[in-house]
Amino acid sequence: MKRLHRRPCAGRCLPQDNLRNAKRAPARTRATLILTALFAFITAPAIAQTIAITGGKVVIGDGSAPIDGGTVVVANGRVIAAGSAVAIPAGAQRIDATGKWVTPGIVAGFSRIGLAGVDGVDESNDTAAKSVPFSAALDIALAVNPDVAAISVNRAAGVTRAVVSPDAGSAIFGGQGAVIDTGADHDPITRAKAFQFVEFGESGANRAGGSRPALFALFRNALAEARDYQAGRLREDSLLERADAAALVPVIAGTQRLVVHAESATDILAVLSLKREYPTLSLVLVGVTEGWRVADRIAAAGVPVIASAVNDLPAAFDQIAATQSNVGRMKAAGVSVAIGTIDDDDTRQAMHGAQYAGNLVALTRVPGATGLSWNDAFAAITSKPAQAIGMGSEIGSLQPGRRGDVVIWDGDPLEVTSGVEAVWIDGVRQPLETRQTRLRARYAHPQEGNLPKAYDR
């Protein structure tokens, strides 16, 4: 083999290289180099190892049945194999999952996780811009805070990726959403500007001046002005800011998904009609409480849905026909359905998607109701949201080539009594400690000095 000669590092040193160089450095710079090397050890990100998880009940996440006694191999941050007859690379770290379930990480289909720390404190809430001239140009990737408590809590519950959307403020467009990971680092963004979010229905009508005709007039005008901007002829008196018009160019080109919040059957059909006017639009429907009423039309249009899974009460006038059979009926009609949590504690409880999926499985045992099979329900919180947002080849399953997001559970992941035992994101094992677990440890056996001021002795 060709011998490689060592040379001084040029910005790409490993920590051990810095320590080695420090020993050879002049005395006056030695202390600085040693401190730099130690800092690199402390701050260096975790490295993805080659791991082989063996003996567990493996769920691929694509709607196929679980595989008993399966193996999952992850290398260089990616899944390289998953199934019943998998070769294990030499030197792989073996993890015995006998008696456990091994699944892809949960993908929160619609959330606002990472955008709000304390709901009652406006300064910590970046979900919506209430008084600003911009709307479609807003990019929430810049505001996602991986330090908010909800990130670690959801990671410990098996959520490894999340579709994060802005809320619409005073305009119908909320801005550009992102796909994030829930890893314990400060680089959460998997894909920025993954989609544009727009409010239709009652909520959109209120933002447009009080009527649905006003909403559609504003929306059509926005797309027309985006085309004008693309052609270099945006007028000075246009309703859109230039930045907003520029942000909508990928939408009209079909290269950026347009995620539309619509609940009633009438509003859903109105959204689908846009495909006739603007055939290049890449639409995704979210909410869709009354989708079952027009499921055949949604399926024919080929528009994916990220649905609120268990809406069963007429919480608003555009949800009069709410039923828990909504998702099951849409799936039976051929709609590609994922589960999301829009306006359902969506800044904190993305992990509820697994419980909702379990509820849909339980519905199959209720006379007259329509739910999902276990395989389809699990796909609705993994591969289906990934596909809806255009990342099906990257996340959401244990298919070869997908990112190495793997969870080991001590039981059926759709049962609320099951717990998470281990989580990997991009092949890196993640901590499961949360603020709640730290508080539990602190106060399980409290010692004097660690007690809160009002602790009842």
Q: How many residues does the chain have?
A: 457
Check: CB of residue 347 under 8 Å from CB of residue 113: yes
Domains of the chain plus CATH, in order, are 14-44 (no CATH), 47-104+397-444 (2.30.40.10), 106-395 (3.20.20.140)
Check: CB of residue 115 under 8 Å from CB of residue 143: yes
The CA distances from residue 224 to 2, 229, 237, 251, 281, in Å, are: 61, 9, 14, 12, 13
The vertex-397 CA angle with 310 and 102, nearest 5°, equals 90
Radius of gyration of the chain (CA): 25
pLDDT of residue 361: 98
In 302-415, where do the E strands start and end?
Answer: 305-308, 337-340, 406-409
The vertex-192 CA angle with 187 and 198, nearest 5°, equals 135
Give the N- to C-terminal CA distance of the chain in Å, as an integer. 71
Nearest to 98 by CA among 61, 71, 64, 62: 71
SS3 state at 315: coil
The CA distances from residue 31 to 21, 157, 188, in Å, are: 11, 44, 34
> Pairing state of beta strands 420-425 and 428-429?
antiparallel
Pairwise CA distance, residues 276 & 153, whole Å: 43
Residue 266, token pair as written in the block? 């009438």
pLDDT of residue 132: 86
Check: CB of residue 338 under 8 Å from CB of residue 304: yes
Pairwise CA distance, residues 164 & 180, whole Å: 7
Check: CB of residue 264 under 8 Å from CB of residue 252: no
> pLDDT under 50 in the chain at which residues?
1-25, 28-29, 32-45
pLDDT of residue 123: 86
In 232-314, where do the E strands start and end?
Answer: 257-262, 283-287, 305-308
Per-residue pLDDT reduced to its tens digit, 173-205: 999 999 999 999 999 999 999 999 999 999 999
pLDDT of residue 129: 86
Whose tokens are 């996780």? That residue is 113
Helices (H), 200-241: 201-207, 212-230
Phi and psi at residue 45, to the nearest 5°: -65, 155
Check: CB of residue 339 under 8 Å from CB of residue 350: no
Pairwise CA distance, residues 170 & 129, whole Å: 7
Nearest to 105 by CA among 328, 352, 408, 406: 406
Pairwise CA distance, residues 2 & 70, whole Å: 40
Report the run of H or E that residue 376 belongs to, with start and end: helix 374-379
